């Protein structure tokens, strides 16, 4: 194991299991975001709950359905699906069944929820003007009340429940398709941290019905034998080099290795028959945590009809404060992909 991976392993194991709180609660920008959303939590409180992966905003502080949608869908168009594991549905402005919408399933980080994740990212706000439905599912609660996805051996079914989240997420897509007009070639996943791991898991076990995945601070399986996609898939990995929870260079969680950001993307580039090495694309500002155009884009060419790329946030952390236009950039990349 390289020194970088070993260092990442030590950081990741401490952070996700709750032994370190400062990565989340000590951040001034997190306190600022809390104030904006009228949080009842104080930054730096020693009695604060264990950290989460997704801009930990309590459910009560997240925007409700009315804040994310403006359409009276009527009794046949549910705003909640999933039965015993309900997931909120956010509908675009001027939804019209005659014009099938795209669909994004947002997978939250460890300890968060779909609504909390959406409050942090602002995904449904960007999607609602782009004829895109957003689904906000919740992972299973562990004994500590933290929600998680059973994604890879590294993250984050620490109790070994082996819940079938692949079947659950796919069932949500099918249920949305039963009620809404959805373009079957424009269905996507976007996951943060544990949700990013889960996005890769779904890509590895299909990847149908998904046309593309985008992950923020996620990683795929370390063992390629666990990832056998049936067709090439468009992949966007977004990751900060200063991430102390899911290390950019890879690490170990739960006694299992997870690969680096570059290795995660390279696997899917190889599966798609892309050129061996990526080329540097544009630089742009993705997070306001770092001054200037901190994000370096690495793009694989020769990939046929798919798009595989890595956005490296130089000095970016695990929960970056998004710059203006950042989430729109992610959504627009997803919507440009088709199955």
Across the chain, what does the average pLDDT equal? 85
230: exposed, middle or buried (Cβ count in 10 Å: 0-12, 13-18, 19+): exposed
d(Cα 296, Cα 287) in Å, to the nearest integer?
A: 12
More confident residue, 331 or 254: 331
The two structure tokens encoding residue 127: 């999607």
The band of 47, judged by pLDDT with boundaries at 50, 70 and 90, is very low
Q: What is the pLDDT of residue 162?
A: 96
32-44 mean pLDDT: 32
Given a contact cutoff of 8 angstroms between Cβ atoms, the answer to whether 307 and 212 are in contact is: yes
Q: What is the pLDDT of residue 36?
A: 34
The two structure tokens encoding residue 60: 């009560």
107-128 mean pLDDT: 98
266-272 mean pLDDT: 98
The band of 235, judged by pLDDT with boundaries at 50, 70 and 90, is very high
Q: Which structural domains are found in the chain, ordered by start?
A: 3-335 (3.40.50.1820)
The band of 108, judged by pLDDT with boundaries at 50, 70 and 90, is very high
Percent of all residues in the chain with a pLDDT value above 70, rounded to a whole number: 78
pLDDT over 80 at 239, yes or no: yes
DSSP one-letter code for 286: -
More confident residue, 265 or 5: 265
d(Cα 308, Cα 302) in Å, to the nearest integer?
A: 10
3-state class (DSSP) for residue 66: helix
31-59 mean pLDDT: 35
44-67 mean pLDDT: 38
Percent of all residues in the chain with a pLDDT value above 90, rounded to a whole number: 76
**Crossing angle between the packed helical segments 165-179 and 194-204, to the nearest 10 degrees:** 80
pLDDT over 70 at 308, yes or no: yes
Nearest residue to 90 via CA among 45, 47, 53, 125: 125
d(Cα 75, Cα 262) in Å, to the nearest integer?
A: 46
Beta-bridged to residue 298, according to DSSP, are 280, 310
84-106 mean pLDDT: 97
3-state class (DSSP) for residue 323: coil
The band of 76, judged by pLDDT with boundaries at 50, 70 and 90, is low
CA 220 to chain centre: 12
Say how many C-beta atoms besides its own lie within 10 A of residue 310's C-beta. Answer: 23
The two structure tokens encoding residue 145: 């009340």
Q: What is the pLDDT of residue 53?
A: 54
The band of 19, judged by pLDDT with boundaries at 50, 70 and 90, is very low
The band of 55, judged by pLDDT with boundaries at 50, 70 and 90, is very low
71-81 mean pLDDT: 67
3-state class (DSSP) for residue 106: strand
DSSP one-letter code for 284: E
The band of 77, judged by pLDDT with boundaries at 50, 70 and 90, is confident
The band of 37, judged by pLDDT with boundaries at 50, 70 and 90, is very low
56-70, 96-110, 189-203: which has the minimum mean pLDDT? 56-70
pLDDT over 90 at 128, yes or no: yes
Backbone angles phi, psi at 82, to 5 degrees: 100, -5
Q: What is the pLDDT of residue 334?
A: 99
119-125 mean pLDDT: 98
pLDDT over 50 at 224, yes or no: yes
Q: Which residue has the tokens 């690495």?
A: 298
Q: What is the pLDDT of residue 16?
A: 60
Q: What is the pLDDT of residue 238?
A: 99
Q: Rounded to whole angstroms, what are the CA distances from 237 to 59, 60, 115, 142?
A: 27, 30, 22, 27
Q: In sequence order, what are the residues at sequence separation of 6 or more whose Cβ sits closer than 8 angstroms to the Cβ of residue 318?
A: 15, 23, 53, 193, 217, 240, 243, 244, 245, 246
d(Cα 220, Cα 337) in Å, to the nearest integer?
A: 20
Say how many C-beta atoms besides its own lie within 10 A of residue 48's C-beta. Answer: 14
Rounded to two decimals, the pTM is 0.84
For 169-180, how does the pLDDT look when each residue is reduced to its tens digit (9 = 90+)?
999 999 999 999
């Amino acid at each position: 194991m390289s020194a970088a991976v070993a260092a990442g392993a030590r950081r990741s194991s401490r952070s996700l299991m709750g032994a370190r709180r400062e990565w989340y609660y000590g951040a001034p920008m997190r306190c600022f975001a809390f104030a904006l959303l009228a949080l009842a939590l104080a930054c730096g409180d020693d009695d604060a709950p264990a950290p989460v992966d997704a801009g930990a905003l309590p459910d009560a502080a997240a925007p409700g359905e009315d804040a994310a949608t403006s359409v009276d869908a009527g009794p046949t168009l549910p705003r909640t699906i999933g039965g015993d594991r309900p997931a909120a549905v956010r509908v675009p402005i001027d939804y019209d069944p005659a014009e099938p919408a795209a669909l994004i399933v947002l997978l939250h980080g460890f300890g968060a929820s779909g609504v909390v994740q959406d409050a942090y990212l602002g995904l449904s706000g960007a999607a609602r003007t782009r004829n895109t439905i957003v689904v906000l599912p919740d992972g299973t609660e562990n004994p500590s009340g933290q929600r998680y996805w059973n994604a890879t051996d590294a993250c984050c079914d620490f109790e070994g429940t082996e819940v079938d989240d692949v079947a659950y997420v796919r069932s949500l897509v099918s249920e949305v398709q039963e009620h809404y007009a959805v373009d079957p070639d424009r269905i996507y996943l976007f996951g943060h941290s544990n949700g990013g791991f889960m996005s890769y898991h779904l890509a590895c076990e299909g990847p149908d019905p998904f046309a593309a995945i985008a992950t923020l601070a996620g990683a795929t399986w370390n063992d390629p034998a666990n990832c056998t996609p049936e067709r090439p898939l468009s992949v966007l990995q977004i990751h900060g080099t200063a991430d102390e929870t899911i290390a950019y260079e890879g690490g170990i969680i739960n006694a299992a290795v997870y690969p680096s950001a570059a290795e995660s993307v390279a696997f899917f580039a190889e599966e798609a028959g892309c050129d061996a090495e990526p080329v540097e694309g544009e630089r742009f500002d993705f997070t306001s945590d770092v001054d200037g155009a901190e994000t370096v884009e690495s793009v694989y060419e020769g990939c046929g009809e798919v798009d595989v790329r890595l956005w490296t946030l130089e000095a970016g952390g695990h929960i970056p404060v998004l710059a203006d236009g950042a989430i729109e950039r992610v959504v627009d990349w997803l919507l440009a992909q088709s199955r």
